Amino acid sequence: MAETTKTADSAKTAPVAWRRAGVERRSTRAWRVRGSAVIVALVVLAVLLVPPLVQLDEQAVDLAAKLQPPSLAHPFGTDDVGRDLLLRCVYGLRVSLLVGVVAAVVATVIGTAVGAAAAASGGWFDRVVMRLVDLFSSVPHLLLGIFIVAMFSPGVWPVVISVALTHWLSTARIVRSEVLSLRSRPYVDAAISGGASRWRVAVRHLLPGVLPQAGLAAVLMVPHAIWHESALSFLGLGLPTHQASLGTLVQAARGSLLAGDWWPTLFPGLFIIVPTLAIAGLAGAWRERLNPRRRSELML
């Protein structure tokens, strides 16, 4: 109530400035969303279509063409053993995206289950679980991730496990608070009074309320998971070096960067940054849709 009056008052005193800011904001956001959607669509098409359609071996070594700067034959140039960097980047993006999506989904499932269980049972179980979540959250993600990958030999799955196990904590918190807030609504009281079992209340009334939040958390987690995969691989702890991923590409390019060859670092670097920002941009738009009150506050 107080907020509405406040906004109305400020709209009265400075209507022009407010509206103009609102319009600009709205249109830039629309463009950001469209741009993000285009980039994400291109990325998905590239990782799905390029490997089956382009019958080229991304690991084919051509020592005669090593460290070529970008040209028509090799738009992104070649690396220190003459592999085509455009092809390596697309394959690397494929692996990184796979790791990111699988890790994000696993982390969301764990987080949702833990958060919902904590909220539903309450009492000492809730307190113990949430203090454990706090404990794990206090350790830097990357450090914990390194600790976990170090227990396995290099490969895709240790990285997925490591990223998933370090990223479910925030989802557990979000889902727990969401379930707690939904559970105290009068419509849950009405359902109980109507004879609904615990299971029915959970599946019919609570879960549908939590799913959008959990889905959003999953999408927001994908870029984060990709950055973690890249960071682990860059440190030499993630994927084996011959397997192209965005992290291993940047790691392999370190030596050539010192020699003044910029392209083996720049293009994989852009491949890490641009798609992840695009995914985050789409997720941001989704979040604003889910939370219209916040959107209207932003727009006014």
Partner 1 sequence: MLELQDVTAGYERRAPVFRAVSLSVAPGEAVGLLGPSGCGKSTLARVAALLHRPDSGRVIIDGTPAGGWRHRAPRAQRTAFGVVFQQPRLSADPRLRLADLVAEPLRANGRSAEVTETVRKLTARVGLGAELLGRRPHEVSDGQLQRACLARALVLGPRWLVCDEMTAMLDASTTAALVAVVEEYRAESGAGLLAVGHDRVLLERWCDRTVQWGGLGASLTK
52 vs 186 by CB, closer to partner 1: 186
Closer of 125 and 187 to partner 1 (Cβ): 187
Coil, helix or strand for 78? Answer: strand
CB of 204 to partner 1, least distance (A): 8
CB under 8 Å to 169, separation ≥6 — which residues? 111, 133, 136, 137
Q: Which two tokens stand for residue 15?
A: 């209507």
Minimum distance of partner 1 from residue 50's CB (angstroms): 41
**Rounded distance, CA 40 to CA 46, Å?**
10
CB of 295 to partner 1, least distance (A): 16
Q: With left for phi above 0 and alpha for psi between -120 and 50, is residue 195 left, alpha or beta? A: left
Least Å from the CB of residue 241 to partner 1 = 50
Q: Considering beta carbons, is residue 262 or 286 the nearer one to partner 1?
A: 286
Residues 6 or more apart in contact with residue 252 via CB below 8 angstroms: 79, 80, 241, 264
Residue ranges binding partner 1 (CB under 8 A): 185-187, 189-198, 200-201, 204-205, 208-209
Nearest residue (CB) to partner 1, 67 versus 207? 207
Identity of the residue, 19 or 204, whose beta carbon is nearer to partner 1 in the bound complex:
204
Minimum CB distance to partner 1, residue 129 (Å): 21
Residue 37 Cα to chain centre, angstroms = 15
Measured between alpha carbons, how far is 146 from 155 in angstroms, rounded to an integer?
13
